[in-house]
A = this chain, B = another copy of it.
Amino acid sequence: MALVVQKYGGSSVADASCIKRVAQRIVATKKAGNDVVVIVSAMGDTTDELLDLAEQVSPLPPGRELDMLLTAGERISMALLAMAIANLGSEARSFTGSQAGVITTSTHGKARIIDVTPSRIQEALAEGQIAIVAGFQGVSQDTKDITTLGRGGSDTTAVALAAALSADVCEIYTDVDGIFTADPRVVPLAQKVDKISYEEMLELAASGSKILHLRCVEYARRFNLPIHVRSSFSAKEGTWVVSNPYSEGTEMEQPIISGVAHDRSEAKITVVGVPDKVGEAATIFKTLADAEVNIDMIVQNVSAAATGRTDISFTLPATDSQTALSVLKKIQQQVGFESLQYDDQIGKISLIGAGMRSHPGVTATFFAALANAGVNIEMISTSEIRISVIVGQGDVDTAVQAAHKAFDLDADQVEAVVYGGTGR
């Protein structure tokens, strides 16, 4: 008998009929002889509706109260799901994050999990019950207040509970069939990946893939917990995220390209004419870090000998741009740079694959493919298993398609079906 943790996002429980379908899948898993713990997000639009109500009473609601409000969303979906399961003749019990023992920091809106003490879940399982747990929420260790985990919170709840319960697998249900070699909306011939390593999945998540959140993959890697990403709309196997997907493979010496990710949500800021002195770059990035701006790629030009000045470009989430520009302007005199340039019409293309670094040909093939497609590269950064480039936003689709084709990732026929909706 295995212990299976399943996580269903908001689009999987959007209305009563969705909830009933999910209930059937859960009961089937139970009847197949498994212990089952289910993590569930708020129904479809609930979160947006609650945020809208909050906005009507207060332009800047206190974080504690916003968390209290939003956690009503999972309370509704988890109770309904437990009812739907009971209606199928199985026993289920729903638990809030607090009841499930999800202990967090007290940073409202983006609390981090400190500990998981799932004694009530274990009791329920011992009594033969299916345990339904609210995703996205916990209780703060210090203040005993209700917290939310922020983006990717439900996935993180699922992985954290699975780890605490020593589950055999954490199944993340979504509205696509798994992880694809590229976004099927951009590359219709993208293929589903059967297995992928935590490291590649982390790079994919960091590069714009929205299927799994960085936090949940990091958590799973730490506890070596297998994640199975699959569709709640079909019974097909999805993608397994594991520590070593290639152990049985015969092509160990071949570079294995897992996929091409893209991200349109970043912007680029160039600090023009920075005096080429020790410590100027440090001042700039210290200032940005103090303002909690997340920096992604950084490029510094070779200093022009004639002027003694250099340009520093970096990318960041477009949503952080106003903060970044404003704090940088405040240190313009101190640092002595000439001006700031801002561009949000960019996109990032990332090629991810194990063993990439030891195969220089990968980079050459990637750049050649972009050049042949007429795509100009603005910035480059690399890691052990990833190459990312910044291109003009209008070139993103062309670039992704060209790279996908160049690495023989195109399938013979379209296999992806993309459904709507995003969870939390």
Q: Which chain B residues lie closer than 8 Å to A87 at the CB level?
A: 57-61
Work out how many copies of this chain go into the complex: 2
A250 at the interface (CB under 8 A from B): no
Specify which of B19, B53, B80 is in contact with A80 (CB 8 Å cutoff): B53
A82 at the interface (CB under 8 A from B): yes
Q: Which chain B residues lie closer than 8 Å to A340 at the CB level?
A: none
Specify which of B19, B50, B53, B66 is in contact with A57 (CB 8 Å cutoff): B19
A72 at the interface (CB under 8 A from B): yes
Rounded to whole angstroms, the CA-CA distance of A20 and B56 in the bound complex is: 9
A33 at the interface (CB under 8 A from B): no
Rounded to whole angstroms, the CA-CA distance of A65 and B82 in the bound complex is: 7
Rounded to whole angstroms, the CA-CA distance of A84 and B61 in the bound complex is: 8
How many A residues, CB 8 Å from partner?
Answer: 39
Residues 174-192 of chain A: 1 if any B CB is under 8 Å from the residue's CB, otherwise 0?
0000000000000000000
With A16-B56, A50-B76, A76-B50: A83-B71 Cβ-Cβ less than 8 Å: no
Q: Is the CB of A79 within 8 A of B66?
A: yes
Q: Is the CB of B54 within 8 A of A82?
A: no
A213 at the interface (CB under 8 A from B): no
Rounded to whole angstroms, the CA-CA distance of A56 and B54 in the bound complex is: 27
Residue of B nearest to A74 (CB): B72
* Distance in Å: Cβ of A84 to nearest Cβ of chain B: 4
**Max chain B CB contacts within 10 Å: which of A50, A73, A79, A92?**
A79
A64 at the interface (CB under 8 A from B): yes
A298 at the interface (CB under 8 A from B): no
A93 at the interface (CB under 8 A from B): yes
Q: Is the CB of A80 within 8 A of B62?
A: no
Instruction: Name the interface residues of A263-277: CB closer than 8 Å to any CB of B.
Output: none
With A16-B56, A58-B83, A58-B86: A94-B65 Cβ-Cβ less than 8 Å: yes
5 contacts between A and B (CB under 8 A): A20-B57, A65-B83, A68-B79, A68-B94, A69-B76
